[in-house]
Amino acid sequence: MDEDSPETCWPPATRPERLAFVAADTATAQEEKLRLSRRYGNCAQEEAEVIICLGGDGFMLETLRLVMDQSVPVYGMNCGSVGFLMNPLDEEDLLERLAVTQSAKLHPLHMKAVCTDGSVHEAEALNDVFLFRETRQAAKIRIEVDGRERLPELICDGILVATPAGSTAYNLSAHGPIVPLSGNLLPLTPISAFRPRRWRGALLPSNAVVTFTILEQEKRPVAAVADFTEVRDVKTVSIQENRNRSVTLLFDPGQSLSERIIAEQFSA
């Protein structure tokens, strides 16, 4: 596969030897980091061939944000709860397992939010960007795609745009579609839509630019969230995939991210 393929094999010339371990601030993750560091060594992140992330999906997203644009891939070991982006916690034969992993290349969404006070905030998200009402009253949002109005008014609790990797997270909970990595699609999913009552969202090409305009901003204030960044009292929010930035995740054979996304569609 070419280098822009979302998922490829990642066989290094030799098994990686320089590992950097990072761990969530939990007893389990910290204890595992100590054991693995004693066994395999723990080099500085800037010298690592692979970064080993110990924690859950939330900590993995934090780690990926920190290594964005670096050439070093990240291999997660689940010390959390769900662990959709993680591999099983296993201390044995780690170097051998890393030599046969598969990689997934992920591009973030870029959010540009303009607030009612005129301030501009930009952030990136590997999971999703979502808008949500700040008060008891439903939000009213106009939706444009590539500069063309597609929905003049959506009355809802909120709306989100997800990456394919993030399509199994909040997007799925909001009854949005799961999207394969190779699909080059972005789910656009309403959150508790009231009008149009039967609108269930859309699948957009990955190069689409989505613009949300908040209607009745003073009466119905809305916040925007890009992974870990929250901006309140937004006026307009534009979202598009940033193909100039990427991160690489590693997965055990047979447990690739594409396989997990497909399997999630058949789970109970």
Cis before residue 196, ω within 30 degrees of 0? yes
C-alpha dist (Å) from residue 142 to 54, 110, 125, 150, 158: 41, 19, 22, 8, 12
172 is in an annotated binding site: yes
User: Is residue 157 marked as binding?
Assistant: yes
165 carries a ligand binding annotation:
yes
168 is in an annotated binding site: yes
Tell me how far CA of residue 24 lies from CA of 13, 59, 267, in angstroms: 30, 6, 28
Task: Give the integer Cα–Cα distance in Å for 51 and 262.
Answer: 26
Cα Rg of the chain (Å, integer): 20
Alpha carbons 3 and 212: distance in angstroms, whole number = 33
Rounded Cα distance between 52 and 155, Å, is 43
| Residue 90 a catalytic site member | no
| Degrees, nearest 5: CA angle 19-1-183 | 100
29 known ligand binder? no
Catalytic residue among 57, 117, 146, 252: 57
Paired residues of 109 in beta bridges: 125, 241
69 is in an annotated binding site: no
DSSP 123-139: EEESSEEEEEESSSSPE
Binding site, annotated residues for NAD(+):
57-58, 127-128, 157, 165, 168-173
Binding site, annotated residues:
57-58, 127-128, 157, 165, 168-173
Residues with active-site annotation: 57
